[in-house]
Amino acid sequence: MMEAKKLAVDVERIHQLNSLLRPFIKRPSVGDTITFEQYRILHELVAEKISTSELSRRLNVGQSMVSIQISRLLNGGFIKDETLPTDRRYHVFQITTQGRRVEEHVNGALEVELPELMKQVNTILK
């Protein structure tokens, strides 16, 4: 009986966390320019050129999701595609100046918003 009550409390906490985090994660950043998922890709590309499979591994999401977001970022001019001269089948992506500006803007917004979000998460978890 005690296990069922604990499970019910845990399920309620998960529901509360989901309700709190969903709008934050799904909210487009910088107007309607990019989504949070696209920001995560830009953030990874700031330091180095990366392939779709490596992005998928780092972000812990499927390659199809990464491919869709990559296409949107390419079309928006936020990243560019580069093929290796030694193997034209292998593509790596790098952030553009426009993409870097957007990534920096979102970083600034996250620095402001994340501390309050984390306070709310901690309240739910207590």
Tens digit of each residue's pLDDT (9 = 90 or more) over 61-91: 999 999 999 999 999 999 999 998 888 888 9
Q: Which domain holds residue 15?
A: 2-125
Which of 83, 107, 106, 80 lies closest to 94 in space, CA to CA?
80
Tens digit of each residue's pLDDT (9 = 90 or more) over 23-66: 776 665 555 578 888 999 999 999 999 999 999 999 999 999 99
Which of 58, 61, 62, 79 lies closest to 70 in space, CA to CA?
79
CA distance 97 to 102: 9
Partners of residue 112 on adjacent β-strands: none
- C-beta of residue 108 within 8 angstroms of C-beta of residue 30: no
Report the CATH number that the domain containing residue 101 is assigned in CATH. Answer: 1.10.10.10
91-103 b/e (C-beta count within 10 Å ≥ 16 → b) = ebbebbeebeebb
- The structure's pTM equals 0.77
Number of structural domains found in the chain: 1
